[in-house]
Amino acid sequence: MSSERQARLADRIRVLIAERLEKGLRDPRLGFVTITDVRVTGDLQHASVFYTVYGDEKAREDSAAALKAATGMLRSEVGKHLAVRLTPSLEFILDALPENAGHITELLREAQERDAAVAGLAAGAAYAGDADPYVKPREDDEDDEA
């Protein structure tokens, strides 16, 4: 039951923060930020907000500073719309999702190249022994039985 409540609260916090960021903050440093996930602790006292930023490293740094500066205001906004006794503290964490996705894409490309190389070797390969390695009764044994 508690994990369901955590999930509902996390989802609600994600929606509230995303809506607030969509309306805009008065901070010019904030770039194009997407809230990817929110995780709430079991006691509902702390929320880790994962986000991505479209742009280069400078855009990420500027957006991180803007979110850090706006944490109090965003927590107040969340507190107004949640029906909980204590508003959870917010921690903004840059989600490494795009970097991980790029790394996984690179690994998949390497695996595909290796598979193609193995398939090329297998196409021109011949058996090391007989084509049919299973032992069959000799024809001589069949004549002896008759």
Query: What is the predicted pLDDT for the residue at 136?
Result: 76
Question: Which among 17, 19, 4, 5 has a CA at the least distance from the CA of 85?
Answer: 5
Query: What is the predicted pLDDT for the residue at 140?
Result: 62
Write down all domains in the chain, each with its CATH number in brackets. Answer: 2-99 (3.30.300.20)
Q: End-to-end CA distance of the chain, in Å?
A: 78
Query: What is the predicted pLDDT for the residue at 1?
Result: 45
Identity of residue 74: L
Query: What is the predicted pLDDT for the residue at 52?
Result: 85
Query: What is the predicted pLDDT for the residue at 46?
Result: 92
pTM of the model: 0.63
Contact present, 91 and 49 (Cβ < 8 Å): yes
Q: What is the pLDDT along the chain (146 residues), one digit of tens a residue?
A: 468 888 888 899 999 888 888 887 777 777 788 888 899 988 888 999 998 888 788 888 888 888 888 888 888 888 888 878 888 888 988 887 666 777 788 888 899 999 888 888 888 777 777 767 777 777 765 555 55
Give the C-alpha separation, 40 to 87, whole Å.
Answer: 11
